[in-house]
Chains A and B, each alone.
Chain A
Amino acid sequence: GQNIDQPTEMTATEGAIVQINCTYQTSGFNGLFWYQQHAGEAPTFLSYNVLDGLEEKGRFSSFLSRSKGYSYLLLKELQMKDSASYLCAVMDSNYQLIWGAGTKLIIKP
């Protein structure tokens, strides 16, 4: 079956760096998405990786290794507003999104 795994919850300190991992097993691969979702709001697109390597966008970076079925989202210089759920989703060969359950990131002062 298809499966996306990411940690349920993580805690980090303001100003620090945190890495949220995502592993996947899907039928085919047409890219991996990371979204940020604050409670009560729609998910916000963060990144899209389809080739191996690191994509950097400001304080956020996303890495993909297709051979390992692995991605991570790296958040630097954490701010309190980064407290949110981070969703990993893979688009399979049928262009369907397979979603992880999300990682709740708690930032402490």
Chain B
Amino acid sequence: GAVVSQHPSRVICKSGTSVKIECRSLDFQATTMFWYRQFPKKSLMLMATSNEGSKATYEQGVEKDKFLINHASLTLSTLTVTSAHPEDSSFYICSARDPGTSGMLETQYFGPGTRLLVL
């Protein structure tokens, strides 16, 4: 089946630094990828929708200048957390939409997540 990978799996950084997280679809081309944030045992909060070749669409309340998203190719989207602060510590998960599905049959494949800890 389709596989989505994320790198790194975990990262620890100092407050004020920037961290880049990569999301790759390994065996299909994803025109649309999604970035989520998860708090412990909570629902996934959609941060933004990443469309290949165009600007990302951010959800209300998500700072686009802080969470930079680039979807430069059909298999790669990156999320950069700029000037990270301890409150940005979280589990970040990406997903990629199977381009052959839509509506009720829409299928998203989720990555394993990246655990970010900002000291």
Q: Do A104 and B41 contact each other (CB < 8 Å), given the known contacts A42-B36, A96-B112, A96-B113? A: no
Question: Once the chains bind, are B1 and A106 in contact (CB under 8 Å)?
Answer: no
Question: Once the chains bind, are B46 and A42 in contact (CB under 8 Å)?
Answer: yes
Question: Once the chains bind, are A37 and B108 in contact (CB under 8 Å)?
Answer: yes
Contacts of B41 in A (CB 8 A): 33, 45, 48
Contacts of A40 in B (CB 8 A): 106
Chain B's nearest CB lies how many Å from the CB of A83? 7
Question: Once the chains bind, are A101 and B104 in contact (CB under 8 Å)?
Answer: no
A13 within 8 A of B: no
Question: Once the chains bind, are A98 and B1 in contact (CB under 8 Å)?
Answer: no
Name the interface residues of B79-107: CB closer than 8 Å to any CB of A. 93, 103-107
B43 within 8 A of A: yes
B115 within 8 A of A: yes
Interface residues of A, dominant DSSP: strand
Question: Once the chains bind, are B104 and A97 in contact (CB under 8 Å)?
Answer: no
Using C-beta atoms within 8 Å of the partner chain, give the interface range for chain A: 20 to 34
Question: Once the chains bind, are A42 and B43 in contact (CB under 8 Å)?
Answer: yes
Chain B's nearest CB lies how many Å from the CB of A14? 16
Interface residues of B, dominant DSSP: mixed
Contacts of A106 in B (CB 8 A): 104
Contacts of B106 in A (CB 8 A): 39-40
Determine which residue in A42, A101, A104 has the highest number of CB atoms from chain B within 10 A of its CB, and name it.
Answer: A42
Contacts of B110 in A (CB 8 A): 87, 89, 97, 99
In Å, the complex CA distance between A99 and B106 comes to 16
Question: Once the chains bind, are B1 and A101 in contact (CB under 8 Å)?
Answer: yes
- Of the residues B34, B45, B112, contact of A98 by C-beta under 8 Å: B112
B109 within 8 A of A: yes
**Can you list 8 A-B pairs with a CB-CB distance of less than 8 A?**
A33-B41, A44-B43, A48-B41, A95-B115, A97-B112, A99-B109, A101-B107, A104-B104
Residues of A within 8 A of B (CB): 33, 35, 37, 39-40, 42-45, 48, 83, 85, 87, 89, 94-99, 101-102, 104, 106
With A45-B43, A87-B110, A96-B113 already in contact, 17 other A-B pairs whose C-beta atoms are closer than 8 Å: A39-B106, A40-B106, A42-B45, A43-B36, A44-B43, A45-B41, A45-B44, A83-B104, A85-B107, A89-B110, A95-B10, A96-B9, A96-B112, A97-B110, A97-B112, A98-B112, A102-B107
